[in-house]
Amino acid sequence: MYINFPRAFWRTEKGNPDHHPLDHTIWLSPRYAQDTNPFRWPLESYDLAAFDQENSHPTLLHYLFGDESAYICSIVHQHPDKEEQYALLDVYFRPYYSRLPNYDPEDSGCKPKAYLVSQWRYDELAGYGSYCNMQVGIDGADLHILRLQEGLPERGIWFAGEHAAPIEERGTVGGAWLSGELAADKVMTKHSQK
């Protein structure tokens, strides 16, 4: 989920425009948003203004998962009107972004311009939001992932996606990309041997 602002207010400091305090923020079990987040779901935010100038955007990327992700997806799905969506999303996310450095509720630069939220949970082709998950206490799950990564080269079948990613990247878009590169390399290696 992305929140786009007119400017990256959290990256500037009075008298020091080169001050960059945050690239990544985690709000663990917040107690200050009881009305909107009674379950105290954690929130992880990445600063897209931290990229090099040509790729920099005054945008926060929030990584959502589990019940929190389902809740945010349902807001977007149930309220197709963008204005209504933005208002509801802002009620939920303001307790977080308002704690970033230099936030001023009167400053228009601190007010989101747009929200972009995936509706993967409602997408049939995305398995209605499914992704790989190892249950606590499971034994040998890593062997299943390694087997997926091997594929069936003798039959010309390789797997790619977050489920076939290296273990530390499993369940992520980056992992899906990486597994695609690894599978493509295996295909190229096999076919270049002929």
pLDDT in tens, 91-135: 999 999 999 989 999 999 999 999 999 888 888 877 777 666 677
Question: What is the structure's pLDDT at 66?
Answer: 81
Mean pLDDT of the region 167-182: 83
Grouping H, G, I as helix, E, B as strand and the rest as coil, residue 48 is helix
Q: Is pLDDT of 154 > 80?
A: yes
Q: What is the pTM of this model?
A: 0.70
Confidence of residue 85 (pLDDT cuts 50, 70, 90): very high
Q: Compute the mean pLDDT over every residue in the chain, rounded to the nearest whole number.
A: 87
How is residue 49 annotated by DSSP? G
With CA atoms as reference, report the closest residue to 89 among 103, 75, 99, 100. Answer: 75
Q: Which two tokens stand for residue 121?
A: 């949970």
As a whole number of angstroms, the distance between CA 88 and CA 72 comes to: 10
Residue pair 43/68 in contact (Cβ under 8 Å)? The answer is yes
pLDDT digits (tens, 9 = 90+) for 31-55: 889 999 999 999 889 999 988 889 9
Q: Bridge-partner residues for 24, per DSSP?
A: 46
Question: What is the structure's pLDDT at 37?
Answer: 93
Question: What is the structure's pLDDT at 20?
Answer: 55
Task: Give the whole-number percent of the chain exceeding pLDDT 70.
Answer: 91
